[in-house]
Amino acid sequence: MSKQTFGWRRSSAIVVAGLAALSLVACSGGGGGSSADAGSASEGSITWWGWTPDKPLADKLIASFNEEYPDIEVEFVSKPIDTYDSVLGPAITSSDGPDVFNVAPGSANGGVNTFQAGAIDLAPAVEEALGSGWKDKLAASGVDGLSVDGKVVGLSAGAVYSGSVWINKDIFDKNGLTPPTTYDEWVQVCQTLEAAGQGCFVQGAGQWAFDMDTFEAIMQNIEPGAYAKASRGEMDYTDPAFEKGMDIWKSMFDDGIMQEGAIGLQQYPDANNAFMSQKYAMVMMGSWYTQYTVRDSMVAAMEAAGVANPEPFTMIPIQFPDVAGTGNTGEMFGDADYGLAVSAKSDQQAAATTFATWLTTSEAGQGAVADTLNDIPSLNGVQPEWDGIDLVNPDAQLDALKEYTDIAGSATEPRFASVSADLNTAFRDALIGVATGDQTAKQALEALQAVVDKQK
């Protein structure tokens, strides 16, 4: 949601076929390696594949791990989010694949249901680390969302939450603007910025996982909880609340909140780079974006966006505006960002398990996760060490970030965990279709309901 977050999955024949072979040696009870060929728990060389975190953050986590386990070498291999499933499937059927790999809940990329056959059961390891009451010590979203039929496929490093907008405060201050709190204010802010030659809000609306974030934020404003209820079949998409949501979604394009050509862009890298290069003043991103309030992380992100000699700017999160006029604001939603799974084909399972459990269950590991500001830690009670974090502008950012972290950590609504792969794909057609005018709101919602009805 980093860009992990946010993820999506499109099941493919190659993934399913490849994993079918693994199911013969890695059924739900555990992996394909015995204790005799699992290697050492305190030394070895392992590879970790994932679409997140960004490599500089992964390297920081590995460095913290090596302070305690200097004899386990970990190499992080960053994989593009949009091809993760297709490359991981065949890789974990081979002994040359990763020892540790990212998995995610629901219909996200790296979905646990798709890749569970290629992972060992980590339940014994987490129980050894935290005791018999381990489930009470970890965030429920990370436990439930990363398990399949009682098998702990992955251990959550932390959660990401969406439903917020990030702004470039420097641009707002320069133009004498305050963050929008209503739909009309949002339109007015965009008109003012555009008149000044400044882009307003940017979204890669061609990458529908993020369209789903925006639509869920709209629905949380209209009727909190409705989005997840409908995905579980507890409420119909044909309910008037969803029609109102689709109308607002379409209006964001018609009224100029969404930038021209939004459907032709991806959130990563396009919208992210446009915001980081300060071409736009606002972007729809979630808690994973907190990492870029840190000076060195922002410099790296700006350089990656093509900015020469970058000067960090002040970015802060704001609540999604009250677009429906209901007063229901500050409603965020999220899932485990990613879980660490240990490959059933790895000959370094012991060292890989040591790394996975250290990062996800130890106070030191979770403290390292917290300090990256990329995820809300999975281990209960762990908070960032704010005094040791080099924010770009602490006077303007610190209080806002503390409040934001508290709001995100208390959120209970899921992001992708309740959305099936088929419904995920249907959302692509519905949201992009409505935005382009190829579908009416009614047609789009009936198509979503048809998918849910078929799943019952």
Q: In terms of domains, do 310 and 349 share one?
A: no
- 303 domain residue, yes or no: yes
User: In sequence order, which ranges of 197-239 are alpha helices (DSSP H)?
Assistant: 208-222, 226-231
Q: In terms of domains, do 316 and 353 share one?
A: no
- 3-state secondary structure (DSSP) of residue 137: helix
Q: In terms of domains, do 376 and 405 share one?
A: no
Q: In terms of domains, do 323 and 455 share one?
A: yes
Q: In terms of domains, do 298 and 355 share one?
A: no
Q: In terms of domains, do 95 and 217 share one?
A: no
Of the candidates 395, 371, 397, the residue with the CA atom closest to the CA atom of residue 383 = 371
Q: In terms of domains, do 276 and 353 share one?
A: no
Q: In terms of domains, do 63 and 98 share one?
A: yes
- 178 domain residue, yes or no: yes
Q: In terms of domains, do 318 and 365 share one?
A: no
Domain residues for the domain of 62 are 13-160+335-384
Cβ count within 10 A of residue 76: 19
- 7 domain residue, yes or no: no
Domain boundary among 320, 349, 384: 384
Number of independent structural domains in the chain: 2
The rounded distance, in Å, linking the Cα atoms of 242 and 445 is 8
Q: In terms of domains, do 92 and 188 share one?
A: no
- 3-state secondary structure (DSSP) of residue 216: helix
Tell me the longest C-alpha to C-alpha distance in the chain: 69
Task: Assign 108 a pLDDT band (cuts: 50, 70, 90).
Answer: low
Q: Token pair of 242, please?
A: 């969803």
Q: For residue 234, what is the domain's CATH number?
A: 3.40.190.10
pLDDT in tens, 273-322: 999 999 999 999 999 999 999 999 999 999 999 999 999 999 999 999 99
Q: Quick check: 74 and 348 in contact, CB under 8 A?
A: no
- 394 domain residue, yes or no: no
- 392 domain residue, yes or no: no
The residues with which 319 forms a beta bridge, in sequence order, are: 164
- 393 domain residue, yes or no: no
pLDDT in tens, 50-78: 999 989 889 999 999 999 999 999 999 99
Q: In terms of domains, do 151 and 194 share one?
A: no
- 3-state secondary structure (DSSP) of residue 228: helix
- 274 domain residue, yes or no: yes
- 343 domain residue, yes or no: yes
pLDDT in tens, 128-185: 999 999 999 998 778 988 999 999 999 999 999 999 999 999 999 999 999 999 999 9
Which residues contact residue 236 at a Cβ distance below 8 angstroms, ignoring those fewer than 6 apart?
A: 230, 242, 449
Q: Which helix (H) or strand (E) holds 361?
A: helix 349-361
Record the pTM. 0.80
Q: In terms of domains, do 363 and 218 share one?
A: no
Using alpha carbons, list the distances in angstroms from residue 85 to 98, 156, 287, 385: 13, 19, 24, 35
Q: Token pair of 407, please?
A: 């709001």
Q: Quick check: 7 and 104 in contact, CB under 8 A?
A: yes
